[in-house]
Structure 1
Amino acid sequence: MTNSTLPESFRDLEPFVDEWALATREERYDTRMARTIDELDRFYDAIAPRAEEAIDYLNGFDLEELPEAETTLLHLMYSLVMVSYPVNVFRQPKIPDSGAAFFDTVVEPEV
């Protein structure tokens, strides 16, 4: 029996689970905003090369009936999306030139 929280073929990503496998957009955004660009880079550089493989793997499941390990992997992919613009475009966690503006989600989208 294993204590792994990810599917076997993605266990190398385990070090990122506690910090980045977050269930809500708000949690992912708050984590992004609390990290430096170097921390976002480390996460992105580890996860992005595995993204296509993870998506292909997850496409083999019914989204409404994902097992726990696959749900954790999906949450990592959601976090990857959350940090992709800061890493590739903004080069900082916050959207440039946005001042004190912020976006607060009232309702999570249904999946």
Structure 2
Amino acid sequence: MSTTTLPDTFRDLEPHVAEWALPTRQERYDVRLSKDIAELERFYDAVAPHAEAAIDHLNGFDLADLPEPETRLLRLLYSLIMVSYPVNIFRQPRIPDSGAAFFDTTAEPAV
């Protein structure tokens, strides 16, 4: 029995699944806030080079009927998006000059 949780092509990303392939935006945002910028950069640098191939792979599936490995891959991409601004623009996990502002998600997109 395999312990792979992602499609075979993306097995290099397995170390990030447990922490980053989370089902809700709020969970992904909470992880982002719990990390320092170096940890966010490591995740970003590991996943970003695979993003285009991951999108191409996922385009071959119906979003409403994704198999579990593809769902996890999609969630990793969601997390990549979640950390892209802190890594590339803010240079910190929180939005600068936002004080105690935070997001409360009241509904998640259907996936």
Q: TM-score of the superposition, structure 1-length normalised? A: 0.97
Counterpart of 2:29 in structure 1 is: 29
Q: TM-score of the superposition, structure 2-length normalised? A: 0.97
Unaligned stretches of 5+ in structure 2?
none
Percent of pairs with identical residues: 71
Counterpart of 1:106 in structure 2 is: 106
Counterpart of 2:72 in structure 1 is: 72
Which stretches of structure 1, 4 residues or more, deviate above 4 A after TM superposition? Answer: none
Unaligned stretches of 5+ in structure 1?
none
Write the letter of the residue equivalent to 1:60: G
CA RMSD of aligned residues (A): 0.8
Tell me the SS of whatever aligns to 1:95: coil
Say if 2:26 and 2:103, in contact at 8 Å, map to a contact too. Answer: no
Deviation at 1:109, TM superposition (A): 2.5
Counterpart of 1:15 in structure 2 is: 15
Tell me the SS of whatever aligns to 2:94: coil
